[in-house]
Structure formats: C-alpha cells, structure tokens
Amino acid sequence: MSSAASGPANQLSLLGPVSSVAAEAPLRIRESRRARRLILKVRPPDGVEVVVPKRTHPREVERFIAVNRPWIERALEDIRRRYPPALRAMPTRIVFPGLERAWSVNYHPRSVHRAQLRRGQQQLDIFLPTRQTEAARGLLRRWLLDMARQELKPRLQALSIETGLRYKKVQVRTQRTRWGSCSSTGTISLNAALLFLDSHLIRYLMIHELCHLKFLNHSRHYWQLVGSLQPDCRRVDRLLGEAWTTVPSWAMS
C-alpha cells in the first residue's frame, strides 16, 4: 500500500500535546493517502500501528485509540510475550540453522565517512559514524538479502526440478507478514528471513508456494498436492506459522 509515513515529531503534532498515547513507543501513528477509515495493524515485533486517513482530526484519532484501548493492550502484551528483548536487540551473533552457519558481529563506532559492513567467513565487522548507529540495521538487512538470494534461489530451482512445478520468476525480499507468496503470473516471492528457520521448514515453504502454481487457492485439491510432496504438511504448516518468534526485529523491513 502506498502511504506517507509520519515520523515521531509528526506523530506528536497529529495527536496534539495533551495526548497520553503519543509517548508510547509501541503505538505508532501513520498517515495514509489511501486509507478510507481509521484502522489498527499489528506490526510485530515493533508494536501496534494506527493507520490514519489524511485530514483526520486529532481528536478523532484520540477517541479511536481510547475506544480500542483494550484490544491494543492485548496485542502489545502478545508482542511482548512473543518477542522478548533478546529478539529486539542488535545481534552479536547470527545463526542460520538451515545453512548450518553462524557469524559473530562486531561493531566499530568511529570517525568514518559512511557506514560499511565487511564480511568474513565467520565474522561481520560493522564500521559506523559515531552519530549514525541506526545505520547498522540497514547494513545487516542488505547482507541478509544478499545471503538469502545466494542460498534460497538455488534451493527453489532444485525443488522445482524435483517436483516438476516450474515457476517463471523468483524474488527475495524482507517482509513482515509473509514467508512467501505466488502470483498468478508464476512469480514466487520468498522472505529473506527464511534463513532463520530449520531446513525442513524452508523446504516446506517452497513446496507450499510451488503448489500454488497449480492451484492459486487453499482448496482440497491444493492440499492434496501439498500432501503428496510433504506427507505431514498440516503439522509442518503449523510449525511454520509459529516460527515468526525466531526472527529478530532487525531482519524485518
């Protein structure tokens, strides 16, 4: 969805100085040109987002938040339970179970002109301008994307040949809400965060999306096809749905 995201300062002015909710970091206000009504979105692991149509009066936003306060608090508590502080922190070690590989991460705040990441076989060194520590997230996400494209594309190609289910195009991205998707034109999208999963879950997700090339739905015939390639597909599907809690916040777009 195309939208104009407001920064922290705009959030305060949107709600007005008397609002008590603006100071809550897990509750984010975002203005959207396309929104037709006020809506709430859960954005794990960061918090809850209030999507606000353009030209909405601040008092209307405050009333909407007040009415939905119980729902917001339940959603925030669920996020806190699923994403403990360790998943929110910047990493000192990154492990990709499906690749059986790990890297230590070292940060070097110093007087450099621009942030940069140097890759080693088992180590990542991040050099940061002293006032730009947030740049580390972007560097790590770009590294994650490079690794995912390098590792996931060949796996999908091999599985496509094995199953006889041929796609036209594959793309790898960082996403918050989907492990993968398949379009009506035969394009399969994979989430770079799949690297944080065990290999059998990666394989299942790829089977799941390849089967959508035959059935672009979740009909009985679709699940029969998935089951022929993954006998315990329902159980593995549940495990995949629960696996979001293994993905650190820096890896999400």
pLDDT higher than 60, residue 12: no
Which ranges in the chain belong to alpha helices (H)? 8-15, 58-67, 69-82, 85-88, 135-163, 199-211, 220-229, 233-242
Instruction: Tell me which of 1-5, 107-111, 228-232 is least confident.
Output: 1-5
- 140-149 pLDDT tens trace: 999 999 999 9
Taking the complete model, does pTM exceed 0.75, yes or no? no
Q: Looking at domain 137-251, what is its CATH homologous superfamily?
A: Metalloproteases ("zincins"), catalytic domain (3.30.2010.10)
Distant-in-sequence, close-in-space partners of 88: CB < 8 Å, separation ≥ 6:
45, 248, 249
Q: Mean pLDDT in the chain?
A: 85
pLDDT the model gives residue 67: 95
Domain boundaries, the chain: 8-82, 137-251
- 151-207 pLDDT tens trace: 999 999 999 999 999 999 999 999 888 999 999 999 999 999 999 999 999 999 999
pLDDT the model gives residue 66: 93
Contact yes or no for 18/10 (Cβ under 8 A): no
pLDDT the model gives residue 7: 35
- 63-117 pLDDT tens trace: 999 999 999 999 888 877 776 676 677 899 999 999 999 999 998 887 678 889 9
